[in-house]
Structure 1
Amino acid sequence: MENKSIYILAIESSCDDTSAAVLCNKKVLSNVTATQKIHEEYGGVVPELASRAHQQNIVPVVHQALNKANIDKKLISAIAFTRGPGLMGSLLVGTSFAKSLALGLDIPLIEVNHMQAHILAHFIEGQNDEMPEFPFLAMTISGGHTQVVLVKDFFDMEILGETLDDAVGEAFDKSAKILGLPYPGGPLVDKYAREGNPKAFTFPKPKVVGLNFSFSGLKTSILYFIQKETAKNPNFIKENIADICASIQFTIINILMDKLKKAVKETGIKQIAIGGGVSANSGIREALKMAEKNKGWKTFIPKFEYCTDNAAMIGIVGQLKYEKGNFTNSSVSAKARYTITQAEQPI
């Protein structure tokens, strides 16, 4: 099998991005993503509109991925797709398409857990000189998830801690909404934060036992703070936007880093990999680089294009499962709630 070229067509449709990629032996030949602008006017993802947009986008996106990779669909060895977690309507589009195409081409079908894919995106070739060595700690930070995971092997993972309420990406986006910033607000908070003073305003950090997280209380305290200050000065947000964003970002990053430090202390593992859309945040990247310098950690951050939802990360998991002969059958169904530990159970 080592000498054979394995071509994986990967499909990702867990939320509002329709993505298709072609990988050959862990190298990305194409990675095409269609984003859905329609949600901006609603200030968040509308599930029904997302699934309709996936239906419109999936055929052209897959077609473009094959064209960019310059291969015929007859060369595809297997199709990998996101089974979950995510929005059920969105997942159904990708799952149904993958099943139909695999059936038509008479090739294996590989189901992928979206959160595992964020972690294993580090093993896509051509990103860094080095890849994480097992065991390592992974922090998955996105709009829907915040987890600290002990990664013992490709498909042997243990969740050490997770959010009890809101995910970190949601905390960024909801804070941005409170400030009147358009959706998605997380990247805008990051942009303004670079120009502000992170210690201008103080927000309380939640006291959560163990390695779990909570962001709902922080979100509420930001809301009350803004309401109180704008009552005194209607121009407060406009006059202090950079400092407010810097202070919010500083607090969120501190919460994440405190848990990572605790995880390192408890496990003795100093290899840290991050994944998920929020890992594109400049403040988090900077904090990790500082910890690498000051604490002797070895940190791994994916290329920007592999941080947000994309099919290349689905493809790398597909490749690893293909090598193990770990296939699924056409009776597989999408799972809106689908944990990393469920994904490790044999089919």
Structure 2
Amino acid sequence: MVKTHNTIAGVLFGMGAGMMWGLVFLAPEVIRDFSPLHLTAGRYLAYGLLSLLLIMPRWRAIRHHLTRREWAALFRLAFLANTLYYVLLASAVQLAGIALTSLVIGFMPVAVTIIGSRDRNAVPLRALIPSLLLCAAGAVCIGWSALRDFSAAPDTVIGLLCAIGALASWTTFAVNNSRWLARVEPLSAQDWNLLTGLVTGVQALGLIPLVLLFAPTASHDLQAWGKLTAVSLIVALLASIVGNKFWNQMSKLLPLTLVGQMILFETVFALLYGFLWEQRWPTALEGTAFALVVLSVLSCLSGHQRHHRRQEMQGVPGLNT
């Protein structure tokens, strides 16, 4: 019963994280006048400031659990999940569009699940093949329209490469972050999120010279800067603070093979927000993709439940889910 409760709670946290993270796909469209460097620096400066304010009451209790090893891990994770990932993602959205970017990012669950299948007590990969196939089919449907009209325009090619880079960056983060959360037991999921935010804020400061050098700001008026500030604060609060908290809570409750499937919710909500922004209904292909995504997650849940029932019947010790 406890395992079932943890699984349900973990899936709900994963859905909440996807709901928040879907906003990051919309932000580059809302403030298209600004470059990906502007968006990344603005969002993560706000994330760092909010993290500093929220972690101050907890600092005395957690600082003794942080060694050079933890800080080094936080720096790597912050770079992979935030600084590098969002520069690449925002570039992909602006150059290749939301649909094509969603297609590439939609394959992230497949990559994470395959890597997670090597963990101890993980569900065998063969048990997850139906879920992985449904996931892949859903991702193909999501971006089929974009691929059908694909042209070899330089911007589109560069956008596609940026999306692939974002996929590699965040897949590496998802695997390593899940494992680090299991190691830093004295720290809560939110402590780890806020510490990641602090480090990300420091990295964002390092982006300012790049913004000044490669992304001129003279053409933006006060109203445009106000819009960038508002979007940065909203995305930082909802996606980075709330969304990351949900994700870390989910990562503590679910095995890595199931964690990978939860990333699908980000793609679903990114598309939903895109439809609302464009004021249209999903096409038949997009509707099919939604159905395939849901079936993929349900299939993965079913595979985990069957695996755990078999292990319980065989008396396998050390189950952690």
Q: What's the TM-score, normalizing by structure 1?
A: 0.26
**Structure (1/2) with the larger helix percentage:** 2
**Structure (1/2) with the larger strand percentage:** 1
Greater RCO structure (CA 8 Å; 6+ sep): 2
